[in-house]
Amino acid sequence: MRKNLNYDQFLLKVKNIVVFASGYGSNFQATVDAINKGEIKARITGLITNKSEIHVIERAKRNGIPNIVIDPRRFSEPDQYAQVMLKALSKWEPNIIVLAGYLLKIPPLVVDAYAGKIINIHPSLLPKYSGKGYYGLYVHQAVLDNNEKETGCTVHIVDNIYDNGPILAQAKVHVFENDTAQDISKRVRAKELELLPKVISSLINEPV
């Protein structure tokens, strides 16, 4: 007969996710929902933001998820900022780190410490419309300005260059003649909410 695990032993089997976000938190919520449905066999052990008074923090509180605001402007040295981030991550022991609408570059010390374990979702079909300054409506307006016929979103592994790491998955949407940047944003966001949980599931749902 299979021996039952007690609760502490069970928790050792559960994989941990830490999420970074900078705004409303729709991708954060999509990940929470996928966990609650059993589609992702993990738990979110912490949320890191660079801003206070943003909606994603309220989402974390409603779901009992610890959160911390780490604003790089409060630190005189980049390494101090990175060390505070590393301390929080060490406490939350992530198997994977998910950048879900996080608008800052991750410090190299953190990228190196968690090499291959940090993923990001970006609102374009990388390598198009990538790099510093390409986020949100700026991406979608660039798509329109260049008369693209399709766009979408990409999940990729994070390295020390903006939007540069290996691509894990993409989802496409059509660009219509009379679209605005807001129109494209809505369709791309809908794809993001589907794609990110699927990628997280594929990465984390292996035997433990």
Residues forming the active site: 122
In the numeric block, the tokens 């301390």 are attached to: 87
CA distance 130 to 6: 47
| Buried-exposed string 159-186: b where 16+ CB fall within 10 A, e elsewhere | beebbebeebebbebebeeebebeebbe
Q: What is the sign, positive or negative, of the torsion defined by CA atoms of 154, 156, 39, 68?
A: negative
> Tokens in use for 41?
């066999």
CA distance 20 to 34: 17
